[in-house]
Amino acid sequence: MSDATKTDMLNLCRLLDSYCPDSINCGEVKPINPGHPIHDAIVKLQTKLPDRRLPPNARSHWRELLRYSRAGDGRAFDAADRLASWARRYTTLTDSEHLCLQAVEKLSERGISPIRDTHVAEYAGFKTNDAVRRHLASLVNKGWLKSSKRDGYIVSSL
């Protein structure tokens, strides 16, 4: 992940963290619409990510945050917290782990199942499967992926 993307991700965390206390103190949920600092931070971040899209788990947290905030539902605070937690964890991954995670997400979106390390190596452009296995094992240990012999690698729903 580039330094600019990491900076944008940490800025998003800061904005999400500040969203909850301010809204709780005044007792209302403020809608997140275009022009809101959090909305602008997401749009800016998406321009720097592959395919200009948030990864699947982040997209689901983001949609949930939008839905609850626009409805004035207090669950928006929990959704903001989940999105901030995801962003903090995402910034700790190495570049190789990012490549492997993106490869698993893309292969999953294309309907390839089960996803094996050879698929990931081919898609991400790694020359050896040993390096891919090491990175995939690290992603499983960190909770980003689930692994089974029958299903291969699956993106964890964090």
Query: Which string of b and e fits 78-107 if b means at least 16 CB within 10 Å?
Result: ebbbbbbebbeebeebeebbbbbbbbbbbb
Neighbours of 16 (CB within 10 A): 25
pLDDT of residue 26: 63
pLDDT of residue 68: 92
Residue 153 makes CB contacts below 8 A (sequence gap 6+) with 104, 114, 115, 116, 117, 120, 136, 140, 145, 146, 147
Tell me the C-alpha distance between 35 and 37, whole Å.
6
Tell me the C-alpha distance between 37 and 1, whole Å.
23
pTM: 0.75
Per-residue pLDDT of the chain (158 residues; tens, 9 = 90+): 677 688 888 888 888 888 875 545 565 788 899 999 999 999 998 888 777 888 888 889 999 999 999 998 888 888 988 898 888 888 888 888 888 888 888 888 888 878 888 888 888 888 878 888 889 999 888 888 888 887 788 887 65
pLDDT of residue 150: 79
pLDDT of residue 153: 86
Neighbours of 139 (CB within 10 A): 23
Interhelix angle 75-90/56-71, nearest 10 degrees: 160
pLDDT of residue 22: 53
Rg (CA), the chain: 17
pLDDT of residue 157: 66
Residue type, 156: S
Tell me the C-alpha distance between 76 and 68, whole Å.
5
Exposed, middle or buried, 130 (CB in 10 Å: 0-12/13-18/19+)? Answer: exposed
**Total H helices, total E strands in the chain:** 7, 2
